[in-house]
């Protein structure tokens, strides 16, 4: 869904609030969130993190959020008036509890470091400070989920419900290289291929067994070829089908009766996602006596360029009106909850969070000077969309 041409007059109504967005205050808030670890498998840690985020949001926005616990995972939502704009983020990170001992929060040379600082706790700080800088948050919904890094299994319906029918969703995920906004994201599918054979003694009776590892080895080339086949059939390149984790066997002298393969899939279009699913479910055994079971499937639909085009144009106009460098755009392979909001027809612009790098890596970092600039851009964007009436 395209928002259509950007409204230059609306862009010019965006208030310049640099004097109200303090980088020192943002750093204090960022350190507070980074130092509250939030590994998604640890629901108690996620609950503690949610409380820290809720307290920060209450202080800056003047009201407490709804606290929504779904399947043990804590999510937060603020609703101001009748929402027309959704600000979306997550407070969970990929870093296990205890990571702070080896990768502590630090600020030096204009760079902030710490687990989750880039993906995406800086985005949450920018969100709160941007919204606090507006004359009123009326018309905005803020949703901060607690399980994005593990597929949003408990929060997907909440994300879709919160975005459906709104004028815009702005996703505070970290930016692409150089601060680029994410104007397209591939869709993601996750599969588990379960191969069943028959156990036998590898020395005495190997011919009586059905080797699940051999069957899996014959399936992998066919799975790896799916991407090329789909790109050829759809005429749109960009599909990736990647065998990742394998488990198999019990002992060194036993014909393995069970093997499992996990497959990561990224697709540029819904048609490619459907075709990959058809081909994965059409896999058939090669060895007599073996059996296949395909589990999983599509997880996130693609965020296609049409979903972000109008908002991206508006972002560049707002940035120029504020004296900021207009951001570039980038299509990326990673998925986010913005895929879900675009999937329900809400115009979506992603990557409005921190400028930095090293997501999910040891060198995760944020450029401190960009924190207030990105908050200012977000405030301008929200004001411009709300001014459209």
pLDDT for 64: 98
Question: What average pLDDT does this structure show over 255-266?
Answer: 98
pLDDT for 300: 95
List CB contacts of 108: < 8 A, sequence separation 6 or more.
Answer: none
- Paired with 353 in beta bridges are none
> Tell me: domain 8-185+302-387, CATH 3.40.50.1820, correct?
no
Termini Cα distance of the chain: 19
Spatial contact of 303 and 121, defined as CB atoms under 8 Å apart: no
Rounded Cα gap, residues 265 and 267, in angstroms = 7
List CB contacts of 313: < 8 A, sequence separation 6 or more.
Answer: 5, 6
- Following CA atoms 4, 347, 239, 265 in sequence, which dihedral angle do they give, to the nearest 10 degrees? 180
Q: How many CB atoms lie within 10 A of CB 205?
A: 11
The Cβ-side half-sphere exposure at 171, using a 13 Å CA radius, reads: 33
DSSP state of 196: E
The second-level CATH assignment, the architecture, of 187-300 is 2-Layer Sandwich (3.30)
- Two tokens at 71? 């399947």
- Paired with 169 in beta bridges are 86, 348
**For residue 109, is it left (φ>0), alpha (ψ between -120 and 50) or beta?**
left
- Paired with 190 in beta bridges are 264, 297
Domain segments of the chain: what residues? 8-185+302-387, 187-300
**Tens-place pLDDT, residues 220-253:** 999 999 999 999 999 999 999 999 999 999 999 9
**Tens-place pLDDT, residues 281-297:** 999 999 999 999 999 99
DSSP state of 141: E
Question: What average pLDDT does this structure show over 21-26?
Answer: 95
**Tens-place pLDDT, residues 309-344:** 999 999 999 999 999 999 999 999 989 999 999 999
Minimal CA–CA distance to 128: which of 145, 144, 112?
144
Q: What is the mean pLDDT of the chain?
A: 94
Question: What average pLDDT does this structure show over 181-206?
Answer: 97
Rounded Cα gap, residues 324 and 316, in angstroms = 9
pLDDT for 60: 97
- Paired with 69 in beta bridges are 74
């Amino acid at each position: 869904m395209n928002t259509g041409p950007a409204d230059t007059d609306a862009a010019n109504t965006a208030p310049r609030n640099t004097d109200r967005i303090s980088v020192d205050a943002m750093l204090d808030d960022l350190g507070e969130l980074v130092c509250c670890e939030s590994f998604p498998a640890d629901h108690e840690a996620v609950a503690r993190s949610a409380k820290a985020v809720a307290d920060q949001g209450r202080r800056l926005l003047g009201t407490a959020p709804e606290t929504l616990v779904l399947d043990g995972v804590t999510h937060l939502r603020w609703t101001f008036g009748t929402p027309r704009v959704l600000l979306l983020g997550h407070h969970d990170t990929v870093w296990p509890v205890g990571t702070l001992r080896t990768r502590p929060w630090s600020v030096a040379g204009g760079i902030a470091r710490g687990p989750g600082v880039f993906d995406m706790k800086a985005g949450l700080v920018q969100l709160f400070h941007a919204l606090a800088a507006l004359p009123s948050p009326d018309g905005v919904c803020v949703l901060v989920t607690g399980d994005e890094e593990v597929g949003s299994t408990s929060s997907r319906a909440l994300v879709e419900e919160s975005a459906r029918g709104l004028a815009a969703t702005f996703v505070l995920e970290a930016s692409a290289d150089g601060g680029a906004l994410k104007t397209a994201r591939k869709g993601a599918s996750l599969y588990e291929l379960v191969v069943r054979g028959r156990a036998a003694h590898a020395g005495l009776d190997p011919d009586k067994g059905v080797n699940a590892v051999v069957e899996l080895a014959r399936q992998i080339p066919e799975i790896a070829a799916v991407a090329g086949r789909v790109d050829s059939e759809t005429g749109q390149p960009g599909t990736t089908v990647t065998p990742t984790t394998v488990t198999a066997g019990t002992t060194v002298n036993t014909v393995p009766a069970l093997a499992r393969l996990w497959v990561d899939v990224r697709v540029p279009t819904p048609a490619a996602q459907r075709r990959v699913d058809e081909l994965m479910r059409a896999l058939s055994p090669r060895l007599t006596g073996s059996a296949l079971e395909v589990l999983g499937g599509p997880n996130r639909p693609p965020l296609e360029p049409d979903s972000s085009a109008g908002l991206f144009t508006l972002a560049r106009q707002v940035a120029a009106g504020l004296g900021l460098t207009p951001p570039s755009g980038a299509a990326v392979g990673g998925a986010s909850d913005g895929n879900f909001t675009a999937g329900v027809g809400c115009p979506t612009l992603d990557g409005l969070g921190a400028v930095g790098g090293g997501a999910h890596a040891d060198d995760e970092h944020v450029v401190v000077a960009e924190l207030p600039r990105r908050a200012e851009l977000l405030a301008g964007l929200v004001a411009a969309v709300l001014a459209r009436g």
